[in-house]
Structure 1
């Protein structure tokens, strides 16, 4: 049975989010001088109001919408589990085209190779890492390969806050 890889939940705790400033501060300025960061307000425990940092959300695009539009593909849970992953895995259309796609019937084997390479990168990384780099020499090539030099595996919250891992090309980050 393969070793099970679990990405640390601490990577997405609300307490790890950047500190926020109160709205009545002018981005940390007081009398034209930058306030000491120690004086800026701390986020409420367990929360992080993005409006305080960035303003109101003007548009959003969920992971489910990316999947529906064909920009992301879900990796079958059985393949992810066989590679030792406990979290849902997704791969971008560009990364799938670069390292998995083909017309020769070898897509499943190339996907298994990609997942094995990602599992090795996760195993080598520090305990609290959230971004894993997989060198191209560890990955299969496809007929449509463009010479990308690496694959990134990013752990982040999904649409409902669950931990997911997305495999993507560097320019997609």
Structure 2
């Protein structure tokens, strides 16, 4: 228990502001007030996968390529580097999505070991879709190692200009 002398000094000490001894006000957190008010809505990684903004990579395929965390690829990166159908094979050169996905994942694992950072470039060759190209051309993706919805480690592969 504090002595009455200490309490008297605090109450009469003019250098201590009136609100210095108050509890945390309503609408605030221990770290401080919520600067923009309470959270109204959040767009999670699971939401992005559900609506197709991100394409989830099957875990066994990612593990086989050497990636130990859940992997998702943005729809734009998927369209550019993975997506391939019979029409593409007939028009350009025979390939399939499994092989193109493997190339992206293998080169991502290779780049992760090379750069050892949380964000790094992934350089690879792929035949561009939708044209007449038959030979692979260089392209670059970006890989981010970060926390997912439940603070688990996750990997997101995107085009360099995507957030």
Task: Give the TM-score normalised by the residue count of structure 2.
Answer: 0.65
Q: 2:129 aligns to what?
A: 143
Give the counterpart of 1:69 among 51, 55, 73.
51
Q: Offset at 1:85?
A: 1.1
**Runs (5+) with no aligned partner, structure 2:** 1-29, 87-94, 132-136
Bigger radius of gyration among the two: 2
Per-residue CA shift, 1:13-40, capped at 9, x if unaligned?
xxxxxxxxxxxxxxxxxxxxxxxxxxxx
Structure 1: which 4+ aligned runs deviate by more than 2 Å?
Answer: 48-52, 54-59
Number of residues of Structure 1 aligned to a counterpart in Structure 2: 120
CA contact (8 A) 1:114 1:139 kept: no
User: Residues 21-170 of structure 1: matches in 2 within 5 Å?
Assistant: 55-56=36-37, 57-104=39-86, 106-126=96-116, 129-135=117-123, 138-144=124-130, 149-170=139-160
CA contact (8 A) 1:97 1:144 kept: no
Per-residue CA shift, 1:103-132, capped at 9, x if unaligned?
136000000011111111111113xx1002
**Runs (5+) with no aligned partner, structure 1:** 1-47
Structure having greater relative contact order (Cα 8 Å, sep ≥ 6): 1
Task: Give the TM-score normalised by the residue count of structure 1.
Answer: 0.62
Q: CA RMSD in A?
A: 2.5
